[in-house]
Structure 1
Amino acid sequence: MKRGKGLSSRLNNEIEIVRKVETDTGTGGSTESWQVLAKVPAEVICLSGREVLTEKVLQGIRVYRITIRHRTDVSEECQVRYGDEDLNIRAALDPKGQREETVILADTDGALPTR
């Protein structure tokens, strides 16, 4: 039986998974900030790119498929930092159901700055 490349050999990029957290200011208020949940090796593949006109501004949008080792704490509430880009997570799933990898579909459309 022919075998493809193992997962470890494909994870040649690094991403950060970040989640928004609310912090008490100590004066009765709170602030929101992004906290790094994990820095992980990843396979990052750009699936498509397009330009859209949003509020009279031309904006480039890219869609990525990101593969990482299996995690259960990645959700649509998180974002991904990849290089200088902030990406919205649209889906995070275990495609084979074997708890080996998590595949993340993410894009730059409306991603909030996390830095």
Structure 2
Amino acid sequence: MRLSAGRLRHRVAIMRATKVDNNNGGFTTRWSTVASAMPVEVLGLTGTEAVREKVLRGIRVYQITARWRGDLLPKDQLRYGTEDLNIRSAVDPDGRREQLVIVADTDGAVKTG
């Protein structure tokens, strides 16, 4: 299916972790914004609950469709509203470099902001 501008009515930010010297011989992880307000289509796929660290948490899985970009890294996260999402897969469905279909979820995502 072709990607039309009318489908891209949601916005996400791409967040990337960088290690910054903490001046005490170690490093601190800092999240920086690679792209903000990127137009995408967001579809909720599933929702479930899981116990993590003895706490019951809701886990949501999304399919996110965006225009093609080749700079997305596997360890990047997406920020959708107030939710931080781990990228589980990112594929070009037809090999034309027109769109990128991302599956992302909230399971264990690190708070970036």
TM-score, L = length of structure 2: 0.90
Q: Which runs of 4+ in 1 moved over 3 A?
A: 25-29
3-state SS of paired residue (1:22): strand
**Partner residue of 2:108?**
110
**Partner residue of 1:50?**
48
Q: Quick one: which amino acid aligns to residue 17 of structure 1?
A: I
Equivalences, count: 112
Check whether the contact 2:3–2:99 (CA below 8 A) recurs between aligned residues: no
Separation in 2 of the partners of 1:22 and 1:29? 9
Check whether the contact 1:75–1:91 (CA below 8 A) recurs between aligned residues: no
Separation in 2 of the partners of 1:35 and 1:18? 6
3-state SS of paired residue (2:85): strand
Q: 1:37 aligns with which of 8, 13, 34?
A: 34
Deviates more, 1:16-25 or 1:79-88: 16-25
**Partner residue of 1:14?**
11
Q: Quick one: which amino acid aligns to residue 12 of structure 1?
A: R
Q: Quick one: which amino acid aligns to residue 101 of structure 1?
A: Q
Q: Deviations over 1:26-64 (max 9, x none)?
A: 564432100111121110111000111223311100000
Q: Quick one: which amino acid aligns to residue 32 of structure 1?
A: T
Q: Could you tell me the percent identity over the aligned residues?
A: 49
Larger Rg: 1
**Partner residue of 1:86?**
84
3-state SS of paired residue (2:104): strand
Deviates more, 1:27-36 or 1:62-71: 27-36
Separation in 2 of the partners of 1:58 and 1:29? 33
TM-score, L = length of structure 1: 0.89
- The 1:98/1:33 distance shift into structure 2, 3 A limit, reads same
**Which structure 2 segments of 5+ residues have no match?**
none
